[in-house]
Amino acid sequence: MTLHRLGPFTLDTRTLLLLREDEIVKVPMKTVEVLLALNDRRGEILTKDELMKAVWPDSIVEEANLSVHVALLRKTLGATAPIETIAKRGYRLRAEAEAAIVETSAERNARESVLRGRYFWNKFTRTSLERASRSFEEALALQPDSGPAHAGLCDTRLLQGLFGFDADRQVFSAARSHGEQAISSDPGSADAQASFAFSQLFDAFNFDAAETALGRARTLEPLRVEPHLWSAFFHALRGEPVRALASARKATAIDPISLKAVVGAGFHLYLSQQYEPDLDPLTRALELEPEFAVAHWALGLACDKLGDFDRAEAAHRAAVRYSGGSPTMESNLARSLALSGKRSEAIDLADRLSALGLAPYRRAAIDVALGENARAVDSLEHAWSLRDPWLVVLKVDPMLDAIRGEARVRAIQREVLRG
C-alpha cells in the first residue's frame, strides 16, 4: 500500500509526497521521511535515535534537525495526525482515534455547501458571489455553528461591499458579525482568523486586531499561500513596504504560478509604490485565466502608472465586463479615462456611478485624476462621515498622492489609523 490517509492529508510512500485534497503540500523531503518513519509504526513510540537512523542513515546530524522537522509536521498536520512527545523517550504518531466521529447527514451536506461556496467565491464576480452567499447560508441553515460557513459569508460580504455590488454600508457590519462567529466556532482555522482580521479592519478600522489575527493565521498554516498574501496586503496598507514585499515573496515562493499570488503581489507592490510595474507576471496570469477580473484590474492599474492608457482602458473595461459590472472597477475605468484626457467621458461615468451609490472614496480618486483636488478632499470628508471602508487604503493609495499633504486629508488619515 503506497497511500496512507491522515485526515485530509494523504502520504504517498512511493513518491514521498504529502498531499492535501490532491494538491502537493510543499514541505522538505526530510520532513516527509520523518512522517513516513512515524507512520510505519503508528501508535508506537520511536526513540530519537531510531528516527534519526531512519531519516539520516548515512549521516551524523544534530538532534535539533529532527526537532525542526517534527515541529513543521505539527504545524502542517495539526490535530488531524497528532505527533506526541514522549518525555525522555521519543515521539509517537497517535493511532487512529479510538471512537471515530460519525458525520451526520446534516454535517455532510453543510460541509459540501461550504465547499461549493468557496468554489464560487474564488471567481470574484457578481454572480459567483451571489451563489457563494446562497451556499454558505444553506450550510448555516444545516449547521448554525459552522465556522467555515461563517468565514465564507464574512468574506463574501466583504467582497460584495468592496466591489460595490452592495452599496449598503451595513454589509461590512454583517461581515464583521460573521467574522466574530467564525473564530468563536473555529479558532484553530487560518481562514476564520483571516476573515475576522479583515472584517475588523474594513468595518471598524481596527488595525491592531487585524494584525494579531493574521499572525495567528500564519502560525496555523505557514505553508499556505493565502496567509502570506493576507499579511502582505495588510503591511502594504500600514505603509510597511519591506514587510509587505517579504510576505508577497513568501507567497510566490510557495506557489509561483498561483493566480492569487501573482495578482496579489502586483497589488501589494502597487500600494507600496516601490516598483516600476512589471506586466509580464500579470499577462502570464491572464494567459492561464483570461476572464479573471481582478487580474485585469491589476493590469489596468499597472498600465495607468506606465502611462500606457490605451492598454489600461482595455484592461479596466475587461475587469468591469468579467466581474459582472463592479462599480469599483468602473471607477478605476473612469479614473483611467480622466488620466488619458477623456475628461467628459470620465465625468459622465463618475456622475452615473455616484448616483448609483459609488463609495465616496472611489469618487475622490476620480476627482484627483480630473484635477479637481478641492472636490476630492470634500469627497474624502464625506467618506469619513460615512466611515467608508475604502479609507483603510488612504495612507498609501497612489491615486491620492496629489492631495495627501492637505491638512484635512492628514486629519482623516490619523482618525482612520486610530480606529
192 lies in some domain: yes
Residue 139: predicted pLDDT: 96
Domain termination residue (choose one: 193, 208, 223): 208
Residue 371: predicted pLDDT: 97
10 lies in some domain: yes
**143, 184 Cβ separation under 8 angstroms:** no
Q: Where are the beta strands (DSSP E) in 70-148?
A: 83-86, 90-93
**196, 182 Cβ separation under 8 angstroms:** yes
Are both 119 and 163 inside the same structural domain? yes
Burial of 336 (0-12, 13-18, 19+ CB in 10 A): buried
Residue 318: predicted pLDDT: 98
Distance CA 94, CA 182 (A): 28
- Treating both helix axes as pointing N-terminal to C-terminal, what angle do 225-237 and 190-204 enclose, rounded to 10 degrees? 20
Q: Cell 479637481 belongs to which residue?
A: 372
Distance CA 211, CA 139 (A): 29
Are both 117 and 153 inside the same structural domain? yes
**What is the count of structural domains for the chain?**
3
Distance CA 301, CA 299 (A): 5
Query: Can you give the CATH number for the domain in which 122 is found?
Result: 1.25.40.10
Distance CA 237, CA 245 (A): 12
Are both 111 and 87 inside the same structural domain? no
Cell digits of residue 139 = 450550510
Distance of alpha carbon 41 from the chain centroid? 38
139 lies in some domain: yes
Are both 83 and 110 inside the same structural domain? no
Contacts of 79 (CB under 8 A, 6+ apart): 188
**366, 348 Cβ separation under 8 angstroms:** no
**161, 171 Cβ separation under 8 angstroms:** yes
Residue 101: predicted pLDDT: 44
Residue 213: predicted pLDDT: 96
Domain containing 56: what range?
A: 3-93
Calculate the dihedral angle through the C-alpha atoms of 217, 221, 226, 230, rounding to the nearest 10 degrees.
20
Domain termination residue (choose one: 93, 119, 149): 93
321 lies in some domain: no
| pTM of the complete model | 0.75
Are both 114 and 89 inside the same structural domain? no
Are both 74 and 148 inside the same structural domain? no
Contacts of 189 (CB under 8 A, 6+ apart): 147, 148, 151, 182, 183, 220
Residue 100: predicted pLDDT: 40
Are both 58 and 21 inside the same structural domain? yes
Are both 111 and 203 inside the same structural domain? yes
253 lies in some domain: no
233 lies in some domain: no
**179, 199 Cβ separation under 8 angstroms:** yes
**197, 210 Cβ separation under 8 angstroms:** yes
Are both 376 and 412 inside the same structural domain? yes
Query: Can you give the CATH number for the domain in which 88 is found?
Result: 1.10.10.10
Contacts of 279 (CB under 8 A, 6+ apart): 299, 302, 303, 306
Distance of alpha carbon 381 from the chain centroid? 29
Are both 146 and 109 inside the same structural domain? yes
Contacts of 195 (CB under 8 A, 6+ apart): 150, 151, 152, 154, 155, 175, 178, 179, 182, 183
Distance CA 316, CA 327 (A): 11
Distance CA 176, CA 158 (A): 9
The amino acid that residue 299 corresponds to is: L
Domain termination residue (choose one: 208, 227, 258): 208
Distance CA 364, CA 348 (A): 15
Buried b (16+ CB within 10 A) or exposed e, 104-139: eeeeebbbebbebbbebbebbbbebbebbbebbbbb
Cell digits of residue 222 = 505557514
Residue 244: predicted pLDDT: 81
Strand partners for 18? 11
Are both 48 and 140 inside the same structural domain? no
Walk across the sheet containing 83-86 and list its strands. Answer: 46-47, 90-93, 83-86
The amino acid that residue 294 corresponds to is: V
Are both 129 and 153 inside the same structural domain? yes
Residue 90: predicted pLDDT: 87
| pLDDT by position in tens, the chain (length 419) | 467 778 778 887 777 788 876 677 878 888 888 898 988 888 888 898 888 888 888 777 778 778 888 888 888 887 766 788 888 788 888 876 443 445 688 888 998 999 899 999 989 999 999 999 999 999 999 999 999 999 999 999 999 999 999 999 999 999 999 999 999 999 988 899 999 999 999 999 999 999 999 999 998 888 777 888 888 889 888 888 788 878 877 877 776 666 666 566 666 556 655 456 778 778 877 887 899 999 899 899 989 989 999 999 999 999 999 999 999 999 999 999 999 999 999 999 999 999 999 999 999 999 999 999 999 999 999 999 999 999 999 998 999 999 999 999 999 999 998 88
Q: Which helix (H) or strand (E) holds 360?
A: helix 360-369
Q: Which helix (H) or strand (E) holds 171?
A: helix 170-185
179 lies in some domain: yes
22 lies in some domain: yes
